[in-house]
Amino acid sequence: MFRKDDMTEKKWYTFYTRSRFEKKIYLELLKQNFEAYLPLQKVLRQWKDRKKMVEVPLFSSYIFVKVERHKISEILKINGVARYIQFNNQPAYLREEEIELIKSFLDSNSEIEVLDGALKEGTELLIKSGLFTGYKGKIVKQAGKNKIVVEIESMNKTLLVSLDANVNLE
């Protein structure tokens, strides 16, 4: 059963969009005075004749909107929003801490790779110094780079972030 607060409390609900509609939907949400978040990262793209830094969504076809549960239907009316994400037949949402973690990683200009699902193997760690002090994750080594794996449980996604070698891990 739901608490009354579940319907009136604003949460970061996750919506699935049509392919390559994330930015259009984000702008439309802002235009309609919704609080929305579209995590973007800068990547170098190469064409035949040039290279260019472009901003692309960190999570392809996902956008986050902080609304009360009863307003989900309003979001679904926006052109390009395909559906909301569900977990156990309930609308899925990210905790405020998960949104802040994503923002912190993007602000750090770290190299980020998004993986589907959760990784089952790896050593658990706690970052004890640097920008991400206090965050827990799992560490892996690939191609000589230290990488921390952070699971965003409510989305069943994993962020693989490259860290400087001088970060203190435990």
d(CA 77, CA 72): 9
Give backbone dihedrals phi and psi of 71, rounded to 5 degrees, phi first: -95, 5
Residues 69 and 104 in one domain: no
Distances (CA, A) of 78 to 24, 36, 52, 72: 10, 13, 31, 11
Is 168 a member of any domain?
A: no
More confident residue, 158 or 46: 46
Same domain, 60 and 13: yes
Q: Hey, which residues does 163 pair with through a beta bridge? A: 146
The number of distinct structural domains making up the chain is 2
pLDDT tens-place string over residues 3-32? 555 678 999 999 999 999 999 999 999 999
**27, 62: one domain:** yes
Phi first, then psi: give them for residue 98, nearest 5 degrees.
-70, -40
Whether 30 and 53 share a structural domain: yes
For residues 136 and 125, is the Cβ–Cβ distance under 8 A?
yes
Q: Which of 51, 78, 94 is the last residue of a domain?
A: 94
pLDDT tens figures, 86-129: 988 899 999 998 899 899 888 887 777 776 765 555 667 666 65
Given 40, 65, 94, the domain boundary residue is 94
Domain containing 75 — which CATH number?
3.30.70.940
